[in-house]
Structure 1
């Protein structure tokens, strides 16, 4: 038993050492401006050779560093969170390791077939992790997650069969020869994995998984796989697309508004992930691929920290995730609350934290991208909205009066959890500026008028103030508005509200019918029956009416 329980420590150390190795390799490849191809000949059959290729350049290596580093912190954190003497905790550890392995398989391969292996591995193991607690809600959430990710696999499978006509699945050598439609299939696949509109519904549902898994999934693995694939396939001729930029901005605004009216701690953080993914996608489709990758890495650091801190809060609140039951945790959990503050400020884009460098670069560069006024207003509005839900979350959990159960003993006796949270908070403070120094992303000279330069900072401050006011003001908002935001703008919940708004007065059917049924088979059969009854009644009518309709049609024809 002792050997089994030391598996967590052993694997955490292994992942950490591997992450340091990848960091060193990434710096070396970046300085020497070179990349490495490792070929592994699996089988030779006459003139056909099946070769597995690993492609290492500084982009893939630094991404592997981030994935492995966060995984090592999550594994050491899980030792306490999942229970040291729980027999299923070893199964949980191996599921997480398989998840990380699938991600590495996807990141390091230039071959679309092996990318599909990693891609499918992520989908399958994420299903196993989401249903880990074996409740009915977990099963439903796992089903939504699995089915939406299956949709993305369709685009990837069609791309694989299409690429056969180009002679090879090693896409890196053919990027400027592919048909545009092939890129659109890959964009569709990435949109399902990265949960853009209209595939956003699975991201909050995946919160049924244990918190360490949520930290891993939402920071550096599952949701970022789609963005990483698009960075790899980047082609300026196809990817600079203003319609797709607008989809990204719409995802940002939708998720931010929904997070502002949400009371579930993990759901708020999941929706904030969706907001940041919208920012990455809109940045990518404006052609700023380097800044997109920068934000991908810096976001991974502070988002994993945010989830791990929320996990400690849930752990000590005896499983409660309602932020209305929390409060004053800054007195009982000072270390956790400090790290939680750092991650939230980095998420808002507070100056000189990790999130600020990437977010500020993206927003300022978008001013040079030739977009119109409405788009700029939406972009800055989404910045303000991200501050609103962040500060609202901070005040509810940290600074309002405690509303939980009186017998809760909120002491930070969490030993190993503390170390992972503190190390990640140090990286959330320093990773942004370190990355800029290493990669020279700040070698771009941009001149702005004073109001435009300070507008991002002012939008953030206004958002913080409104988030504080939103907690204090009792708004008389109708319940329908909460339904709208709680169901992510009716993206995955058939709601009676739409029925009330649209069809209650016009069609005399049972009240229980949902709007999907009007456009589905039942609605179609209903309308067909109505039309056939009308035609039957018309044909059984008088000859006078029949002749009159003939004359009307003749007049139309003339």
Structure 2
């Protein structure tokens, strides 16, 4: 509880400080001298502006509520103190990443996130957790290598403080290389195609960790990094490439979630969809809008995971939505929070998600992008988000209860509810508050009547489609061969998990087995060890035959020696 109160107090301090920085347009650079040896000094630079302070306040608030929630959720764990320490290390790594204007200190936080996330994913210590942890760690190592290469390229400028050079040197070739490496690093950390497979696999971690990871820490690190490096994306090939990749990620995850029955995996794919939305609007040149959606998304996504964790906890660790139903009767408070978070995710008017998503979609309609990006990626993906949201609400809230007749469903976990209820309140109010704070001058987005109503129409269409595919699922999921192949392809994230695991190791392992058969156990054995063995055995048998005390052999050999000596003497 001490950690909870400490984090809450620091979060409130950061929030009110960010308001002060925002109103007075202040930025603080703090140089802390760590080591001074002769003429060489090593400094730790801290950047404090309203963006870093506001993001820190949200991270600390969510992590404090997650710790409070974990006290009950993980109450049966004997090592709960170790779990809390890991979560605090995770938050500390994120803090280091947020306040650093220097690539070296960012790398410390970046690598800290990767290492602690591995420890948290394998926390339950079974084969599935180990596999998921290894996939998570190795996928993120690609981004870490890109980060190290960017640090090497920054040596061209004589300093690693990118914030001094990024504006004035944005057209320099070296800075373009650094921007490309930063995009690669952000794509791995924020799980964009083709690095998307680790995000649903990381669901092997405890649910409080998922609430923290998917809302404000690990996956948002890449988005936050690109918000800082946004100057390099505007009107460049890099931005166009990122827009295409993030749009495809948004579409792929939205489509895949409609074929899932695992409650946590559906919410994980919704996180992937929202990350694609943030990355795409960032690539179009609206960093503050991406940051706005990052903050609002953090609130309702943490709430969504907490509610899912409470449901799974009460369902005796069952995550299949088909075994749920009528949860609103047994768990009214939890399902109220769950539905509010779900509606905020869909963009329900006047909830937190509405203010950011509606502004994003209207700005997309005003932007100079083609019909594929504008209509297909953004609006069809929004339709899919509402579709799978209504689908799993249909499975969990309506109909009859499909699990055991004697069940322990209740709303009596007051510590878990104490973690969820503040987030529910913030998911309702914080969208409007943040929009007033961050955009004090109202955007005047003038669109035709039918385009203004297009977002609402797409959401209604998505909800109707979600209801229909749930209600007539026997038709949608029929087991004919072609449809089964399509369902398997779409529901398996376009085979990305297979490509990231079996696709990477299958051919090297096959090549290794061929080498072992042909070389180690084949020709090298025939020409090496085995051949030497046969030669020595044959030689030994011949020598043994000669040494068998046979008088005829001794006389013959004596005669041969005499002949040789005589030949040598006379000739």
Same fold (TM over 0.5): yes
Please give the secondary structure, in 1, of the residue aligned with 2:423.
helix
Unmatched 5+ residue regions in structure 2? 519-571
Task: Find out whether 1:482 has 2:487 as its counterpart.
Answer: yes
* Corresponding residue of 2:437: 438
Question: Where do residues 21-40 of structure 1 align in structure 2 (5 Å cutoff)?
Answer: 21-40=13-32
Task: Tell me the residue number matched to 2:569.
Answer: none
Q: Residues 133 and 520 of structure 1: is their aligned pair in 2 closer, same or farther, counting only changes over 3 Å?
A: closer
What SS does the corresponding residue of 1:28 show, helix, strand or coil?
Answer: helix
User: Secondary structure in 2 aligned to 1:459?
Assistant: helix
On the 8 A contact 1:64/1:107 being kept in 2, the answer is yes
Structure 1 residue 87 displacement after superposition: 2.3
- What is the deviation of 1:244? 1.7
Equivalent residue of 1:179, what SS? helix
**Bigger Rg, which one:** 2
Give the whole-Å Cα distance in 2 for the aligned partners of 1:165 and 1:245: 29
CA RMSD of aligned residues (A): 2.0
Q: What residue number does 1:234 align with? A: 230
Task: Report how far residue 410 of structure 1 moved.
Answer: 0.9
Q: Would you say the 8 A contact 1:494–1:516 is kept in 2?
A: no
TM-score using structure 1 length: 0.87
Using the TM superposition, give the Cα deviation of residue 146 of structure 1 relative to its aligned residue in structure 2, in angstroms: 0.3
Cα contact 1:239–1:287 (8 A) shared by 2: no
More helix by percentage: 2
Mapping of 1:278-297 within 5 angstroms? 278-297=276-295
Paired position in structure 1 for 2:533? none
Is 1:387 matched with 2:381?
A: no
From the superposition, tell whether residues 150 and 240 of structure 1 become closer, same or farther in structure 2 (CA, over 3 Å): closer
Q: How far apart in 1 are the matches of 2:178 and 2:18?
A: 30
Provide the residue aligned with 1:502 in structure 2: none
Q: Which residue pairs with 1:143 in the alignment? A: 134
Secondary structure in 2 aligned to 1:223? helix
The range that moved more, 396-405 or 257-266, is: 396-405
For the structure 1 residues 424 and 375, does the alpha-carbon distance in structure 2 shift closer, same or farther, using more than 3 Å as the test?
Answer: same
Q: Distance in 1 between matches of 2:85 and 2:505?
A: 40
CA 1:157/1:230 → structure 2, altered by over 3 Å: closer, same or farther?
same
TM-score when normalising by structure 2: 0.85
**CA deviation after TM superposition for structure 1 residue 384, in Å:** 0.3
**Can you give the 5+ residue segments of structure 1 that lack an aligned partner in the other structure?**
1-8, 496-512, 530-558
Q: What's the counterpart of residue 216 of structure 2?
A: 220
Deviations 1:455-496, CA, capped at 9 Å, x for gaps: 01110010001101111112225322232133211112169x
Query: Residue in 1 aligned with 2:342?
Result: 344
2:161 corresponds in structure 1 to: 170
- Determine whether 1:422 maps to 2:421: yes
Alpha-carbon distance, 1:103 to partner:
0.2
**Alignment partner of 2:496 out of 491, 499, 509:** 491
* 2:356 matches 1:358: yes
Distance 1:56 1:515 in 2: 42
Question: Residues 514 and 228 of structure 1: is their aligned pair in 2 closer, same or farther, counting only changes over 3 Å?
Answer: closer
TM-superposed CA distance for 1:454, in Å, is 0.6
2:568 maps to: none
Of stretches 257-266 and 413-422 in structure 1, the one that deviates more from structure 2 is 413-422
Residue 182, structure 1, aligned to residue 178, structure 2: yes
> Partners in 2 of 1:494 and 1:222 — Cα distance?
23
Distance 1:167 1:514 in 2: 41
Number of positions where the alignment pairs a residue of Structure 1 with one of Structure 2: 501
Q: Does 1:411 align with 2:403?
A: no
Q: How many angstroms does 1:228 deviate by?
A: 0.2
Checking the alignment, whether the CA contact within 8 Å between 2:180 and 2:238 is kept in structure 1 is: no
Residue 409 of structure 1 and its aligned partner are, at CA, apart by 2.0
Contact 1:240–1:287 (Cα < 8 Å) also in 2:
no
